[in-house]
Chain A
Amino acid sequence: MVTTDHQISTQENRWLARVRRFRSREGAYWVMLAPLLVFVVAVAIYPLLFSFRISFFKYRLTDPNQVQTFVGVDNYLRALQDPTVLTALRVTLIYVAGTVIVELLLGLALALLLASEMRTTRFVRSFLLVPMALPPLVVGLVWKSLYNADFGVIPYYLKQMGVSVGRGPLAEPAWAMPAVILIDVWQWTPLLMIIFLAGLKSLPTEPYEAAYADGATRWSRFIHITLPLLKPTILVALLLRTMQSFKVFDTIYATTGGGPGSTTTVLNFHIYTVGMTFFDMGYAASLANVLLVIIAILSALYIMLLERQQL
């Protein structure tokens, strides 16, 4: 086929017009996104790079000359050998596993219990939303007084049941961890309940109708239909709460302060102590980066799950 100059130019024009149209359309979107991108790069990315840099330095805020000495990966090597870090990691894993497992089971149970749209259940649900909206610090303070050995209501009722907790749940090594886990469960189970409620409501009806026709029991419908269909929601909720649980700080600060001993010193709290009580900034930054990597791996998994759910 012979192409004339005229044809070429109109093709070119058409192509140019398309580029121009794309530009004007996409350009506007870039402009809408730009202010936030600039802000985030300045306020979030720059500090994270800064943190990456000082993690290779020995840098104590208490040093009158503010000397920063380059020490290579020493801070990271130190973290690997530091028994307090390993303890903090172990404590964190216990805390995360304890909170997430209990909250998932309880949240699912609550969602099933309160799934109907009757007025009473909706009323009850609105009350259960309150804990997750509260400042975690206040939640910590309230539970601290409930746990108080002298006048707290929890040790009192435990004593009535014949259980003695000595200096109170928060001060006894065997009780402190379950006690702080219970606070987390109290505050965050409702979040899982709402996520599961939304998941339950989006389930298709057909499998249930078929199961009905087959005369399946409620239990087998739950095990064979509801649970498998709800699996994506459960996984997303699991990862979300795991990441949040890794970052617990306020309630620990308000209740045990990491004690007794280091039984409730989670990694996040330990990093704060290293940075803000010992002012060992380089080391604190390296520990924070380790936590960042753990969370990054979890969030990569989380995003993969969300992506798959979308398809």
Chain B
Amino acid sequence: MIFRRSRHSDEISVMNRRSALERVVLTIVTILVVLFFMLPIFWLVTTSFKFGREAFAIPPRWLFFEFTLRNFQEVLATTKISQYLLNSIIVSTGATILSLALGVPAGYAIARSQSRILNSSAYFFLILLMVPPIAMLIPFYLIMRDLRLLGTYASLIILDTVFDAAFVVWMMRSYFADVPKEMEEAALVDGASRFAAFWRVALPLSIPGVVAAAIYVIIFSWNDFLFALMLTSPETKTIPLGILASFSAVEINWGKMAVMCLFAIIPALVIALFLNRYFVQGATMGATKG
């Protein structure tokens, strides 16, 4: 169904039935891979705890440096970081609630319906998901300007939700398709309505899928930069915009910037490291399930 863990996967794995030499080589390769993917993040985290002169030190000091919290104090004192974080939280929460409320029932309807029109409307949402954001953004910007909604949370939440909800529909459709229908049918025989079958039976069985979809929506809307770049005002800037706004092009304090970046990646770290089961599920189902 989702992310199959079966015994035969060992059959094709490269790590089993190997000579000692091969094992050593593969272990070294694995370590290099981890270093490649982890060092930039490690660099970001350590820079946020370094004094300026050590952040610039040549040769770079990866492990041994003087530990300081001064960057954190300065960021909290001199930037509007709490405002930016609050804005990001408002936008992500709004987009997540709205896209789940619109997308989960729609995904269920598409999965359960017998109608061909309804079934193939799934592809409409997939196409929508593929639309280049810039193609949507230019007209949306003009419309929001005419409605005097530029710079509001609503404009950003609404545009995020278009793409987020399309993803939720696409993902939940394939999730619900894998949930056995028997219990819902039993409920229908007992006189429950279709809505009750969805709300009381199918939805509680599908919480893991909803969590996986929610995680993706949170990441999409938290990480969004292009939409926020054009739709926010100084008061509603989300964290990526806030990072750019806090530094001039001429002089960048990398220690402070690292601290702000660290705040910006907290959700990503939590999700990738602690909720990775759902995260993997979202990636594979969103991408490859027909």
Interface set of A (CB-CB < 8 Å, partner B): 24-26, 28-33, 35-37, 39-40, 43-44, 46-48, 50-51, 54, 110, 112-118, 121, 124-139, 141-143, 145-146, 150-151, 153, 156, 186, 190-191, 194-195, 198-203, 205, 208, 226, 233, 236-237, 240, 243, 246-247, 249-250, 253, 268, 271-272, 275-276, 281, 284-285, 288-289, 291-292, 295-296, 298-299, 302-303, 306-307, 309-310
Bound complex: CA of A306 vs CA of B29, how far in Å? 34
Contact of A295 among B6, B15, B132, B194 (CB under 8 A): B132
A151 closest partner in B (C-beta): B56
In the assembled complex, 28 residue pairs joining A and B whose CB atoms fall closer than 8 Å, in A order, are A26-B115, A28-B109, A30-B118, A35-B102, A43-B161, A44-B128, A48-B139, A115-B9, A128-B37, A132-B272, A134-B223, A135-B268, A141-B261, A143-B40, A195-B284, A198-B3, A198-B4, A233-B288, A237-B287, A240-B288, A247-B133, A249-B133, A249-B134, A249-B225, A275-B134, A299-B126, A302-B130, A303-B127
Bound complex: CA of A208 vs CA of B13, how far in Å? 12
Is B135's CB under 8 angstroms from A50's CB?
Answer: no
Residues of B contacting A132 with CB < 8 Å?
A: 272, 283
Contact of A29 among B16, B56, B112, B288 (CB under 8 A): B112
Is A292's CB under 8 angstroms from B240's CB?
Answer: no
Is A47's CB under 8 angstroms from B226's CB?
Answer: no
Contact of B136 among A48, A128, A249, A296 (CB under 8 A): A48
**B150 proximal to A (CB < 8 A):** no
Interface set of B (CB-CB < 8 Å, partner A): 3-6, 8-16, 26, 29-30, 33-34, 36-38, 40-41, 43-44, 47, 55-60, 101-103, 105-106, 108-110, 112-115, 118, 121, 123, 125-128, 130-136, 138-140, 142-143, 158-159, 161-162, 165-166, 169, 193-195, 198, 219, 222-223, 225-226, 229-230, 239-240, 243-244, 254, 257, 261, 264-265, 267-269, 271-273, 276, 279-280, 283-284, 287-290
Contact of B271 among A30, A133, A226, A281 (CB under 8 A): A133
Bound complex: CA of A179 vs CA of B118, how far in Å? 45
Is B33's CB under 8 angstroms from A129's CB?
Answer: no
Q: State how many angstroms separate the Cβ of B134 from the closest Cβ of chain A.
A: 5
Residues of B contacting A50 with CB < 8 Å?
A: 139, 142-143
Bound complex: CA of A283 vs CA of B80, how far in Å? 36
Bound complex: CA of A155 vs CA of B68, how far in Å? 26
Is B280's CB under 8 angstroms from A129's CB?
Answer: yes
Q: State how many angstroms separate the Cβ of A197 from the closest Cβ of chain B.
A: 8
Contact of A25 among B44, B194, B198, B254 (CB under 8 A): B194
Residues of B contacting A246 with CB < 8 Å?
A: 132
Is A208's CB under 8 angstroms from B240's CB?
Answer: no
Q: State how many angstroms separate the Cβ of B256 from the closest Cβ of chain A.
A: 12
Describe A's contact surface by its main secondary structure: helix
Is B288's CB under 8 angstroms from A130's CB?
Answer: no
Given A151-B57, A153-B43, A249-B226, A134 and B265 touching (CB < 8 A)?
Answer: yes
Is B283's CB under 8 angstroms from A291's CB?
Answer: no
Q: State how many angstroms separate the Cβ of A185 from the closest Cβ of chain B.
A: 10
Determine which residue in B5, B139, B239 has the highest number of CB atoms from chain A within 10 A of its CB, and name it.
Answer: B139
Residues of A contacting B123 with CB < 8 Å?
A: 303
Is A130's CB under 8 angstroms from B273's CB?
Answer: yes
Given A32-B106, A35-B102, A117 and B193 touching (CB < 8 A)?
Answer: no
B112 closest partner in A (C-beta): A29
Bound complex: CA of A150 vs CA of B44, how far in Å? 17
Is B290's CB under 8 angstroms from A306's CB?
Answer: yes
Is B34's CB under 8 angstroms from A29's CB?
Answer: no
B104 closest partner in A (C-beta): A32
Bound complex: CA of A236 vs CA of B110, how far in Å? 22
Is A236's CB under 8 angstroms from B287's CB?
Answer: yes
Bound complex: CA of A184 vs CA of B156, how far in Å? 26
Residues of B contacting A54 with CB < 8 Å?
A: 139, 142
Residues of B contacting A186 with CB < 8 Å?
A: 36-37, 40
Q: State how many angstroms separate the Cβ of A297 from the closest Cβ of chain B.
A: 11
Given A33-B110, A295-B130, A145 and B254 touching (CB < 8 A)?
Answer: yes
Bound complex: CA of A303 vs CA of B128, how far in Å? 12
Q: State how many angstroms separate the Cβ of A199 from the closest Cβ of chain B.
A: 7
Q: State how many angstroms separate the Cβ of A117 from the closest Cβ of chain B.
A: 6
Bound complex: CA of A243 vs CA of B286, how far in Å? 14
Residues of A contacting B272 with CB < 8 Å?
A: 126, 129-130, 132-133
Bound complex: CA of A236 vs CA of B195, how far in Å? 35
Contact of B106 among A33, A284, A292 (CB under 8 A): A33
Q: State how many angstroms separate the Cβ of B258 from the closest Cβ of chain A.
A: 8
Residues of A contacting B243 with CB < 8 Å?
A: 137-138, 141
Contact of B283 among A37, A195, A208 (CB under 8 A): A195
Q: State how many angstroms separate the Cβ of A271 from the closest Cβ of chain B.
A: 5
Bound complex: CA of A66 vs CA of B76, how far in Å? 42
Is A135's CB under 8 angstroms from B15's CB?
Answer: no
Residues of A contacting B102 with CB < 8 Å?
A: 35-36, 39
Is A28's CB under 8 angstroms from B194's CB?
Answer: yes
Residues of A contacting B239 with CB < 8 Å?
A: 135
B284 closest partner in A (C-beta): A198
Given A116-B9, A295-B132, A299-B126, A201 and B3 touching (CB < 8 A)?
Answer: yes
Residues of B contacting A198 with CB < 8 Å?
A: 3-4, 280, 284, 288
Q: State how many angstroms separate the Cβ of B208 from the closest Cβ of chain A.
A: 16
